A and B are shown apart, each in its own frame.
Chain A
Amino acid sequence: MQNKLLFERSVAGSNSFRLPPSDVPEEVSLPTEMLRPDNPPLPDLPENEAVRHFTRLSKRAYGVDDGFYPLGSCTMKYNPKINEWAARLPGFAELHPLQPEATVQGALELMYNLERALCEVTGMDRFTLQPAAGAQGELTGAMIIAAYHAKRGDTRRTKMIVPDSAHGTNPATANMAGFDVIEVKSNERGLVDVPSLRAAMSEEVAGIMLTNPNTLGLFEEEIAEIAAIVHAGGGLLYYDGANLNGILGVARPGDMGFDIVHLNLHKTFSTPHGGGGPGSGVVGVKDHLAPFLPSPLVAKNDEGYYFDYDRPDSIGKMLAFHGNFSVLVRAYTYLLALGAEGLREVSENAVLNANYLRMKLRDHYHIPFDRLCKHEFIATPGRLKEEYGVTTLDIAKRLLDYGYHPPTIYFPLIVPEALLIEPTETESRQRLDDFAAAMIKIASEAIADARLLKEAPHNMPVQRVDEVGAARKPILRYQANA
């Protein structure tokens, strides 16, 4: 039976939601021509049917709690339950963002402490907790770079360097912030090609956006040279923190010469991703860029914690209020739980798991950079494609049949047919062995009967969906008579 939409379950008059009886006059003092003549056009369901509807939808979804989720560059680690409890404490969840500061001292203290902890973890001096997601953090950072050069009267710097392995958000962000993008190639070792970078650097370059470890899972070993070139040329270094999980507690971007950092609290700091957010893209800077951070920041004096709005050089505001506060509560809870030693264990085990899995798969898949990786690595179908015509998409869809969320596919763009595999530290050896066994089985299926993969998935609620048709004739909403 087809899965019904909310609208198809609607029965007029069946909803029984109600408010307490009113004890004020029931009058409407609004011009009639501004009013709807009827109730708004919403589906009409009793509570139990609504609950069943969404429960059924949840069963057609797959989260970290369901199983292994090695989605590269997304750091799908376990989301501790205590975080959910903390975020729902009424003393955090039921605060209006504009309450007097004296009534929200605990919330401000949490934000203050979180900022200090993130500074220590990254080697930066100040953080804004405002940006709602990684991409918004990037935009904040790019605007800070622009504001820094503008403040110095340096108006020539209209270009941003982005490596060809970068996340798509990096070039999109640079463009959105008004920069032209210069793409720098990677070398045959999968790292930024330093001579190309040197050649690209000029007095028109505002800075470079870099992920380290990069999106191939490799540490940019020449980071000292990269930083020296960019700084000597008058540019700034921006650190895309999507991959911080690979070096957490072992090395810090602030010590490598980065001037600006954004972190994805929904990746490294264990807050759940919610099906595509909310996340948090907090941004840290060195002291010389702190004046440009969004307003306000949390500060402290003898009377307690307060919002500091006295920031004349600030780029402004990224959100109406103070950021995704309940995501901050979760990340803070996680930091407290792990502590200094625990944070280091994160990257140790994330890197151990990634390399262990790489070793397990190397005889069955092509590993284009088959050396020590950090938290993730690339595999490709290799001869499975060349000899049997099996693509990365086929492998991904067959993994669904084995009960796994596939790795990130076709990214980074510089490796054709990439499978970007990030196991994270919260997977046991058993899970890794089971996943490797499934991958190896799929490789043998590809050789024995490629159709099994081409027609996959076989065991899902729906078969392979028609993406081309969806884009050609977009149907973006339900319409009763469509």
Chain B
Amino acid sequence: MTYIPNPPTVRQEMLRALGMNNTKELFADIPAQYHMERLNLPSGLSELELKRKLTSMASKNLSTTSYPTFLGAGAYDHYIPVAVDQLLLRSEFATTYTPYQAELSQGILQAIFEYQTLICDLTGMDVANASMYDGASALAEACNVAADATRRKTVLLPDTVNPNYRQVVATYGRSSKYSVQVIATSDGSATEVLGHINEETAAVVLQHPNWFGNLETQAQAIAEKAHAHKALVIMVVDPISLGLLKPPAQLGADMVVGEGQALGSPLAFGGPYLGFFAAKNNLMRRVPGRLVGQTTDRNGQRAFVLTLQAREQHIRREKASSNICSNQALNALAATIYLALVGPRGLREIALRSHQLANYAAKQLASRGIELKFQQPFFKEFAIKLADPAAANKRLLENGIIGGYELKGGMLLAFTEKRTKAEIDRLVDVLGGMKHAE
């Protein structure tokens, strides 16, 4: 099955128009030594064969539609209203490129402008970009911005930040623009970072709720100390939590990044997801990636356009601070549609329900002797103590549940509004029924 519209007779006529006899002549500029006969791949398939083959491959996976999951750890099984995907299937959205031609792309540009506004409104920040690859790479880019803006190098990264994010930050940091200082903590909060802030600190990273699901109740105090030392504060937040929690701008964040997957993108085995990136006004011209601005056309009519492009790679080339070009525009559109569909009460209700289900689970587990790892307020995810988390997950799977994320001597369990009391009771029964070493 190919998607080439010209039949062989037409191709032959076109070749003749070029004064050629065969297709080989089209590649006469490639030295003979590089020409290959045939790729060592199977022949093409019809659509019907494709359907059979891919259905069979997909069926080898156990999806979260058949087994409930308590996995979170950076990707969450929140409900996606049906209208989100129905709208994403409109191919004017799906099959268009970056909106370079503003007059032809007002719909895309307006949607990005609306997305930027929604992210600003949720986080309380002044400016948000059109999107980054995912939460982790958005954090790495924020560390770059902090190093540039403060002309300092040290980024304080408490181990209450998602370890996958810490790895990505370390990888991006290989270029030595910034150096990472990981701060070991003990009580499930980042409070111990306070003792490490000094005149060399470029930024303090706070994840809130953090890797263990706990709220950083001292975030404001940490931000105040950072600011007193002229360091910046980067907060990593769960956008669902912002239905319930105070916006990070009010806690003192200079940049806010995070994973927007929960806003309308399916789990999809890890991607495509949505990195969001928001900042205070004073950092506007350092923000990486695309920005859409409002302007007017020649008749004075409101219009939207890609703007401040002088920051970007296609203009600044080797002087650009980020190389990002393609981002996750369709996921940003999904987030925009999602937020429009659930609305202000809906997002609050989703956040509340997730939190209440987590509360219920923690209490039920406690009643079966399974303790929390930390004594901190948590949002929708928490860590429990378990002697053998791998064995526990195996048992859960045998009982039709995809368990939690295995920690050393524990497990991280996540709860979304999709989980039910019955599912949680089953989880508690299985875990509570196992022997856990004291």
Q: Are B343 and A135 in contact (CB under 8 A)?
A: no
A98 within 8 A of B: yes
Does A447 count as interface, using CB distance less than 8 angstroms?
Answer: no
User: Are A251 and B217 in contact, with the CB atoms below 8 A?
Assistant: no
Chain B, residue nearest A332 (CB): B54
Q: Out of B103, B106, B326, B340, which one reaches A276, CB within 8 Å?
A: B326
> What is the bound-complex CA distance between A34 and B417, given in angstroms?
21
Given the known A-B contacts A6-B340, A278-B272, are A429 and B14 also in contact in the complex, defined by CB atoms under 8 Å?
Answer: yes
**B325 CB–A CB distance under 8 Å:** yes
Residue A405 at the chain B interface, CB threshold 8 Å: yes
CB distance from B397 to the nearest CB of A (A): 7
Residue A148 at the B interface, CB < 8 A? no
* Stretch of A196-204, A230-238, A341-349, A383-391 lying at the B interface: A341-349
B63 at the interface (CB under 8 A from A): yes
Residues of chain B lying within 8 A (CB to CB) of residue A168? 312-317, 320, 325
Q: Is the CB of A275 within 8 A of B330?
A: yes
Say if the beta carbon of B384 comes within 8 Å of chain A. no
B33, B267, B331: the one within 8 Å of A224 (CB): B33
| Distance in Å: Cβ of A294 to nearest Cβ of chain B | 7
Q: Whole-angstrom distance between the alpha carbons of A171 and B322 in the complex?
A: 10
Return the contact of B104 from the options A62, A218, A247, A411 (Cβ within 8 A): A62
Residues of B contacting A476 with CB < 8 Å? 113, 116, 127-128, 284, 291-294, 307
Give every chain B residue within 8 A of A69 (Cβ-Cβ).
97
Q: Select from chain B the residue with minimum beta-carbon distance to A471.
A: B307
User: Cβ of B95 < 8 Å from any Cβ of A?
Assistant: yes
Q: Are A276 and B215 touching (Cβ within 8 A)? A: no
* Interface size of B in residues (CB-CB distance below 8 Å): 201
In the complex, the answer to whether A462 meets B30 with C-beta atoms within 8 Å is: no
Give the contacting residue for B98; candidates A84, A100, A276; CB below 8 A.
A276
Query: Given A143-B174, A275-B99, are A96 and B136 also a contact pair (CB < 8 Å)?
Result: no
Asked whether any CB of chain B lies closer than 8 Å to the CB of A256, the reply is: yes
CB of B58 within 8 A of CB of A345, answer: no
Q: Mark B16-39, 1 if CB is under 8 A from A, else 0.
A: 011000010011111101111011
Question: Residue B137 at the A interface, CB < 8 A?
Answer: yes
**A274 and B94 contacting across the interface, CB-CB below 8 Å:** yes
Interface string of B306-341 (1 = CB under 8 A from A): 011110111111111111111111110100110111
Task: Tell which of B53, B107, B120 touches A336, judged by Cβ atoms closer than 8 Å.
Answer: B53
CB-based contact A315/B64 at 8 Å: no
- Which among A86, A106, A336, A477 has the highest number of chain B CB atoms within 10 Å? A477
Whether the Cβ atoms of A54 and B337 lie closer than 8 Å is yes
Inter-chain CA distance A270–B66, complex, in Å, is 31
Known A-B contacts A272-B94, A294-B171; the reply to A474 vs B272 at CB < 8 A is: no
Q: Which of B215, B319, B344, B353 contacts A34 (CB 8 A)?
A: B215
Smallest beta-carbon distance A454→chain B, Å = 11
Shortest C-beta distance, B363 to chain A (Å), equals 8
Least Cβ distance of B316 to chain A in Å?
7
Task: Decide if B92 touches A59 in the complex (CB within 8 Å).
Answer: yes
Complex Cα distance A39/B351, Å?
11
Instruction: Decide if B62 is an interface residue (CB 8 Å cutoff).
Output: yes
Given A103-B61, A396-B101, A175 and B320 contact (CB-CB distance below 8 Å): yes
In the complex, which of the residues A181, A272, A353, A397 contacts B95, with contact meaning CB atoms closer than 8 Å?
A272
The CA of A272 and the CA of B317, in the complex, are separated in Å by 26
Interface residues of B in 147-165 (CB under 8 A from A): 162, 164-165
Contact A340 B318 (CB under 8 A): no
Contact flags (1/0) for A128-147 with B, using CB distance below 8 Å? 00001111101100010011
Pair B40/A135 contact, Cβ less than 8 Å: no
Cβ contact within 8 Å between B87 and A316: no
Q: Is the CB of A29 within 8 A of B377?
A: yes
B438 at the interface (CB under 8 A from A): no
Are the C-beta atoms of A477 and B116 separated by less than 8 Å? Answer: yes
Which of A70-78, A282-290, A438-446 forms part of the interface with chain B? A70-78
C-beta contact mask, A370-393 vs B, less than 8 Å → 1, else 0? 001010000000000000000000
Smallest Cβ distance from B355 to chain A, in angstroms? Answer: 7
Task: Give the contact stretch, choosing among B74-82, B187-195, B426-434.
Answer: B74-82
Q: Cβ of B128 and Cβ of A477 under 8 Å apart? A: yes
Q: Are B330's CB and A277's CB within 8 A?
A: yes
Q: Is the CB of A105 within 8 A of B343?
A: no
Docked pose: A78 CA to B42 CA in angstroms: 22
Known: A40-B243, A69-B97, A273-B95. A7 touches B117 (CB 8 A): yes
B247 on the interface (CB 8 Å rule)? Answer: yes
| B305 interfacial contact with A, CB 8 Å | yes
Tell me which residues across on chain A come within 8 A of B167, comparing CB atoms: 316-317
A170–chain B nearest beta-carbon distance, Å? 8
Known: A62-B92, A346-B4. A92 touches B295 (CB 8 A): no
Q: Which of B5-13, B199-207, B225-233 contacts A (4 or more CB under 8 A)?
A: B5-13
Taking CB atoms and an 8 Å cut-off, the chain B residues in 66-122 that contact chain A are 69, 71, 73-75, 77, 79, 81, 83, 85-87, 89-108, 110-114, 116-118, 120-122
Minimum C-beta distance from A137 to chain B (A): 10
Contacts of B110 in A (CB 8 A): 3, 5, 57, 60
Cβ A88 vs Cβ B85 within 8 A: yes
B186 part of interface (Cβ distance < 8 Å): no
**B293 in contact with A278 (CB, 8 Å):** no
* Docked-complex contact A339 and B42, CB < 8 angstroms: yes
Does A416 sit within 8 A of B, measured CB to CB? no
A268 at the A/B interface (Cβ < 8 Å)? no
Chain A residues, Cβ within 8 Å of B321: 176
Interface presence of B65 (CB below 8 A): yes
Q: How far is the CA of A368 from the CA of B74 in the complex (A)?
A: 51
- Report how far A411 CA is from B317 CA in the complex, Å: 13
Which of B217, B243, B291 is in CB contact (< 8 Å) with A31?
B217
| Contact flag A60-B106 (CB < 8 Å), given A178-B175, A274-B94, A275-B330 | yes
Q: B4, B90, B327: which contacts A133 (Cβ < 8 A)?
A: B327
Instruction: Determine if A172 is an interface residue (Cβ-Cβ < 8 Å).
Output: yes
Residues of chain A with a CB closer than 8 A to B87's CB: 51, 54-55, 58
In the complex, A136→B267 CA distance in Å?
21
* B15 contacts chain A at the CB level, 8 A cutoff: yes
A241 close to chain B: CB less than 8 A: no
| Chain A residues, Cβ within 8 Å of B366 | none
Q: Which of A30, A74, A147, A177 has the most CB of B within 10 A?
A: A30
Kindly state whether residue B41 has any CB partner on chain A within 8 Å: yes
A404 to B203, CA, bound (A): 47
The closest CB in chain A to the CB of B54 belongs to A86
Q: Which residues of B contact A250 (CB under 8 A)?
A: 27, 30, 35-36
| Residues on B with beta carbons closer than 8 Å to the beta carbon of A448 | none
In the complex, what residues of B have CB within 8 A of residue A353's CB? 14
A460 with B103: CB separation less than 8 A: yes
Contact with B along A86-109 (1 / 0, CB 8 A): 111111111111111001111101
> Closest 4 interchain pairs by CB?
A91-B58, A321-B270, A274-B330, A339-B44
A–B Cβ pairs within 8 angstroms, 5 of them? A24-B424, A61-B99, A275-B111, A277-B327, A467-B102
Additional 10 contacts, C-beta under 8 A, given A96-B269, A100-B402, A218-B29: A42-B121, A61-B99, A94-B266, A99-B71, A99-B402, A136-B133, A172-B322, A336-B50, A426-B4, A428-B6
